[in-house]
Structure 1
Amino acid sequence: MRARITVSALLGLLALGYLVTHLVFFVQLFFDHSGVAITQDEIASAHTATDARPQLIPKIIHQVYHDWNAEQNGGNETMPTDWDEVRHTCIDKNEDWTYMLWTASTSREFIQRYYPWFLSTYDNYKLPIQRVDSVRYFLMLHYGGIYIDLDNGCLENLTPLLYYPTWTTDGGRGALSNNILASVPNHPFWKLLTDSLIPYNYNYFFPYVTISYASGQWFETAIWQKYHSQHPEERLHRIMMDDRPGTQPWIYFTQERGGTWKNWDNAFFLWIGDHLALLALVVVSGLALLWWSVRRCLSVHKKYSEISTGKIDIEHGE
């Protein structure tokens, strides 16, 4: 009996350590991020017509449109009218750029041709949005350029954004965003990120968590933090895109209709994203309660051991 309790207590401590480690890592995804935060206003102010800095990022705009119902529609991949209008704001503002629209078929062909080691994972993603998430990372690695979600339009020419070798976007309210990304080709950050897709490919039961942590924003944030810990001398840029009142205005992009990957649990996790302080309080309280419970169990076990070995006389309370 004593051995069983000792093993149980040890397993409890190991489980607690594992839980605390992963919870701390997970909670960190939603607070301070590595790299350099820069506003769109600061980018615009740094750019002039005679800017002598080298333009590092190639003038390529990537957008991905996968019609998940195309098979039922006879293979038709016609884009919704509002998204077609929004994407043309980026085309029209950047006339001398190369524009690349990636459909479900061309995305798969790209993965098959250049990254065949990933094709099986790509084909077998449980949720279609995960293919849209993952292909954008490989596009950044292979071609470089700027990736823009179809629900983001352009207000200005994007040339001032080409002077920063690799950047992501930060909505200022939790994990980083992957709706707009940019890079030079073959940057090591995207190599680390694409190499990490298979190890992170788990089904976390909740669709929102599976999407976010296996291939989406939480995943991107985790790898962003990992990259900066491995390369402390390098600080990549985070372009701030907080759309809440009182924050810096957006100069280069717009936000239009989104919500293409809504599932039954989206509202719950989006609520959590807007109440991170409350979440932190709940997590800390839960860990404190768990620690108290483990300590209590160990105390009871110690007293039981002392009674069983005769160190405490139950009748006389000694």
Structure 2
Amino acid sequence: MRTSIRISVVFWTIALLTALGWWISRILVFKQIFFEHAGIAVTQRQVADLYNSTADPRPQLIPKIIHQVFHNWKEPGNDALPEDWARNRDTCTKPNPDFKYILWTEKSSRDFIEREYPWFLKTYDGYRHKVQRVDAVRYFILLFHGGIYLDLDNGCKGDLTPLLYYPLWITDGGRGALSNNILAAQPNHPYWARLTMSLIPYDYNWFFPYATISYASGQWFETAIWEEYHSLLPKPEENPNIEHRLYRLMMDDRPEADEWVFFTQERGGTWVNWDNRMFLWIGDHLFLFFLMIVGAVSGTAWLSLKAMRRYRQGGYTRLSNRSSSI
């Protein structure tokens, strides 16, 4: 009996220590996702000023295309944008009449994946949450067509031409993970190639809908691949004349942050699950949350080790045999 208890305690101790190691590794990954971002941060004002001050025009790298994705989950088949999103669209198309505008519907999105990337169709159709298809298709659109992608709740303040002279940029809210609400690239950029090829291995159910969406196809996923991509680039000192890093366009909405020159943010909340509020709290208290995780796992491991020592030092008393006479 005592031996079996010891084996059980040892088993659970090893399991808990393994879990602790796993959580520490996740914390290190999340540290990169939420706190340390590679690439070159540029403000919208810097982009505009550089464009206006450059005497010799640089080569335009990003094609003049604006992409948006509208999958009408409430009324399938109705591809007319709601009035407020139509106004947002107009703020982008009217100041940029020489840009091609493409609205990707649920049908055209799936047809595009089936036609150009059939190897991904099974994963695309099998996503647990509908918003994951909206996430995924934007990456393939930029890989194939290039251009500028905007979420429907984003609008524009004017001419987007100054943003076209970079090979690729994504948006950075200045806190937490990088954003995937506004993105841009030249066609066939290797970052989007690496990201789209990573969608299948990252397609994992994390139980919580918010975590599954974010880390399987959304912002956490995009940020993880961003850091991975930059870790594989040549170091700046290896060839200082060539810039391999990609750009992060800052979109911090805090009052003290840099002004937004090109974009606006209107209503959001197009996908809400029961755990959103919990993860929003975690996002505002990341350090405290990680301390709680480490403390809980460490405390459980310590209690298990203490229980094992108690069994080693303790014992049991053999009861003497007593015969009873009748």
Residue of structure 1 equivalent to 2:318:
none
Do 1:61 and 1:145's aligned partners in 2 also have CA atoms closer than 8 Å? Answer: yes
Deviation, 1:253, is 0.5
CA apart distance, 1:4: 4.1
* 1:243 pairs with 2:245: no
Residue 290 (structure 1) shift: 3.0
Looking at structure 1, the residues matched to 56 and 125 of structure 2 have their Cα atoms a distance apart, in angstroms, of: 44
Cα distance in 2 for partners of 1:290, 1:82 equals 47
| Partner of residue 127 from structure 2, selected from 125, 128, 137 | 125
Matched, 1:112 2:114: yes
Aligned partners of 2:270 and 2:212: how far apart in 1?
16
Mark the CA change 1:18 to 1:83 in structure 2 (over 3 Å): closer, same or farther. same
* Structure 1 match to 2:190: 188
164, 169, 174: which one aligns with 1:167: 169
> Which residue of structure 2 aligns with residue 294 of structure 1?
301
CA-to-partner distance for each residue in 1:195-232, whole Å, 9 max, x for gaps?
Answer: 11111112222222222111111111111111111225
* Structure 2 unaligned spans of 5+: 236-243, 316-326
Q: 208, 218, 221: which is aligned to 1:219?
A: 221
Instruction: Specify the SS of the correspondent of 1:153.
Output: strand
Count of aligned positions: 302
Pairing 1:266–2:276 present: yes
1:117–1:209 Cα change, 3 Å? same
Cα offset for 1:12?
Answer: 2.7
Q: Does 1:66 align with 2:67?
A: no
- The correspondence for 1:284, drawn from 291, 295, 308, is 291
Q: Secondary structure at the match of 1:249?
A: coil
Q: C-alpha distance in 2, partners of 1:32/1:22?
A: 15
Residue 37 (str. 1) matches residue 47 (str. 2): no
**Larger of the two Rg values belongs to structure:** 2
TM-score of the aligned structures, taking structure 2 as reference length: 0.86
- What SS does the corresponding residue of 1:93 show, helix, strand or coil? coil
Shift of 1:112: 0.5
Offset at 1:100? 1.2
Q: CA deviation at 1:28?
A: 3.1
The aligned amino acid for 2:249 is: I
What CA deviation, in whole Å up to 9, does each residue of 1:43-102 have, x standing for no partner? 11111274432111111111111111333xxx2221111111110111111111111111
2:34 partner SS: coil
Between stretches 222-231 and 178-187, larger displacement belongs to 222-231
Contact 1:27 1:280 in 2 (8 A): no
How many Å apart are 1:165 and its aligned residue? Answer: 0.7
Partner of 1:147: 149
Per-residue CA shift, 1:111-165, capped at 9, x if unaligned? Answer: 0000001111111212111111110000111111110111111112111111111
Q: Distance in 2 between matches of 1:293 and 1:209?
A: 24
Q: CA offset at residue 255 of structure 1?
A: 0.8
Shift of 1:270: 2.1
Cα shift at 1:172: 1.2
Query: Structure 1 unaligned runs (5+)?
Result: 309-318
Could you list the runs of 4 or more consecutive aligned residues of structure 1 that deviate by over 6 angstroms after TM superposition?
none
Q: Secondary structure at the match of 2:94?
A: helix
Flag the 1:289–1:259 CA change in 2: closer, same or farther, 3 A: closer
| 1:126 to 1:9, Cα distance in 2 relative to 1, 3 A | closer
With over 3 angstroms needed to count, the CA separation of the structure-2 counterparts of 1:158 and 1:281, relative to structure 1, is same
- How many angstroms apart in 1 are the aligned matches of 2:296 and 2:210? 27
Q: For residues 35 and 139 of structure 2, what CA distance do their matches in structure 1 show?
A: 23
Task: State whether structure 2 residue 22 is matched by structure 1 residue 18.
Answer: yes
CA distance in 1, matches of 2:172, 2:234: 20
CA distance in 1, matches of 2:116, 2:208: 31
The DSSP-based 3-state class of the residue aligned with 2:224 is helix
Question: Paired residue for 1:210?
Answer: 212
> Percent identity at matched positions?
56
TM-score normalised by structure 1 residue count: 0.88
Partners in 1 of 2:184 and 2:70 — Cα distance? 18
8 Å CA contact retained: 2:142, 2:192: yes
| Matched residue type, 1:53 | R
CA distance in 1, matches of 2:296, 2:126: 40
Counterparts in 2 of 1:77 and 1:285: CA distance versus 1, 3 Å = closer
